[in-house]
Chains A and B, each alone.
Chain A
Amino acid sequence: MNLLEKLDAAAAARKAMLPEGVGAFGIPIEEVYSATEARIGERRVLLLGTNNYLGLTFAPECIEAAHKALDEEGTGTTGSRMANGSYYGHRALEREFADFYDCCSGIVFTTGYQANLGTISGLVGRGDTVLIDGDSHASIFDGCILSGAEIIRFKHNDMADMEKRLRRLGGRAETTLIIVEGIYSMLGDQAPLPEIVELKNKYNCTLLLDEAHSLGVLGETGQGLVEKTGLLKEVDFITGTFSKSLCSIGGFCVSNHPQLDQLRYVSHPYIFTASPSPATIASTRAALQLLRNGSDLRKQLWKNCTQLYTRLKETGYILGPEPGPVIAAILDSPKQALQIWHRLLENNIYVNLILPPAAPDGKSLVRCSVNAAHTTEQIAHVGETFAKLYHEVLQP
């Protein structure tokens, strides 16, 4: 099979799962009206397929900051920070992230994906080990592959399984980086951080926590799972993304280990990428301030999460183990998931469709992302529509 035939085979597999004309992946969004509404085709749809958890995509403070940076500094930096220099905004945002997490060092990356890729591949290498959760995001997995370290998976959120694998490592545990996520993107469940920290200390490992989905969502000031659990000082490295609660694009890593700054000289995903544009950095800085002071937004977000989670659970849907901004209905077959997804869109509700092997355990997911800008009425409408489809599609 030649290179192009391999792609044909992948296309055939996709077509077998998704009938012709059903564009569930990369759906064209024609116009965006607000943090909760957009136009898909001729439909004005309610958006529950974004990661806009605090609903800040149209925050005037962020838009104004981006406009100003665009006017004053231009459209792009046209190169990497190593070769072309660091703008004031890059350095300021790094200081602001370090301050937010009470850490001595912070690095900004051009995407959230690169934050994991660059941090992991900079921290570990051949001869080291990474111990990752079985449901880890692709950016974590790819970072591990790039690093050349030995990759060991443990069963998702299963602490007995994690300890078993740490025990098997023996003396190599001391050069092991454990990587977990604050909120997992598939089912919306949280890592059992207190137990993970206990094991990390028992086996003398290093711990990296990815707060991509939990930044802005968990904790009084929105730091994430570290704040909710009071374990900020126990986590060695925290990564995260700007593309969810902060509504732009980019990523970060913070740490109290001053060695973090050396990543700037060894991490290819940091060195060989153009730095974030001034407008991106400016809107992210404004959004970070709103996030830090956004306890009311978090209150509204959690009200919405609980409302939808409870409604779907009462209806009979199998969901992830706890409420959160990611609420996934777990379905037995791609056909069921596709039917629900399609019927939701016909009812002007856009959610995410996730099919095997991307979904855990061979299941299929219809995944909602709730945000603080959704109104109680909008969430109630989504719940009612899901309930109607449960009876029409799953229990006819």
Chain B
Amino acid sequence: MTDNNYDEIVQLLCDRLSSLASADVNITAETNLISDLSIDSIKLLNLIMEIEDAFDISIPINALADVQTVHELACLIAKIKSAS
């Protein structure tokens, strides 16, 4: 994964997540999707569908079990993108 790719993915994730989180939360790569953003599981799964379309990939729900932070989600997306 190039740094550019990773940075672009993180930026897109932060933009999408900001629409779901309250205004006072500053979203960074280290933000925890569940504990910091209080996003329920269904909203998160719907967000994943949007992200899948943005990158034209499919993210298996099982793979999300190991994802807690924006950084981890970005790494997963980069990995799937590079494999597809």
Contacts and interface: CB of A to CB of B under 8 A. Distances in A.
Contacts of B12: none
A360 to B, nearest CB: 8
Interface string B29-65: 0000000000011110110010011001110111100
Given A134-B49, A150-B62, A357 B43 contact: yes
23 contacts: A134-B49, A144-B61, A145-B62, A148-B62, A150-B60, A151-B60, A152-B58, A153-B45, A153-B61, A155-B49, A161-B49, A164-B53, A165-B52, A168-B56, A168-B57, A168-B58, A168-B84, A356-B40, A356-B42, A357-B40, A357-B42, A360-B42, A361-B46
A316 interface: no
Given A134-B49, A356-B42, A357-B43, A151 B62 contact: yes
Interface residues of B, number: 17
Contacts of B61: 144, 151-153
A153 B62 CA distance: 11
B49 A357 contact: no
A148 B49 CA distance: 20
B56 to A, nearest CB: 7
A159 interface: no
A389 interface: no
A362 interface: yes
Contacts of B41: 357
Contacts of B40: 356-357
A152 B84 contact: no
Contacts of B84: 168
Interface of A: 129, 134, 144-145, 148, 150-153, 155, 161, 164-165, 168-169, 356-357, 360-362
A345 B46 CA distance: 33
Given A145-B62, A165-B58, A168-B56, A153 B49 contact: yes
A307 to B, nearest CB: 32
B77 to A, nearest CB: 14
Counting from the closest, the 9 A-B pairs by CB-CB distance are A150-B60, A357-B42, A151-B61, A357-B40, A168-B58, A152-B58, A151-B60, A165-B58, A151-B62
B45 A134 contact: yes
Given A134-B46, A150-B63, A164-B53, 12 more contacts: A129-B60, A144-B61, A145-B62, A148-B62, A150-B60, A150-B62, A151-B60, A151-B62, A152-B58, A152-B60, A357-B40, A357-B41
A303 B10 CA distance: 54
Nearest to A145: B62
Contacts of A134: 45-46, 49
A356 B63 CA distance: 24
B71 to A, nearest CB: 22
Contacts of A150: 60, 62-63
Contacts of A144: 61
Most A Cβ at <10 Å: residue of B40, B41, B57, B61: B61
Most A Cβ at <10 Å: residue of B43, B45, B57, B58: B58
Nearest to B57: A168
Contacts of B60: 129, 150-152
A285 to B, nearest CB: 38
Contacts of A153: 45, 49, 61
B52 to A, nearest CB: 8
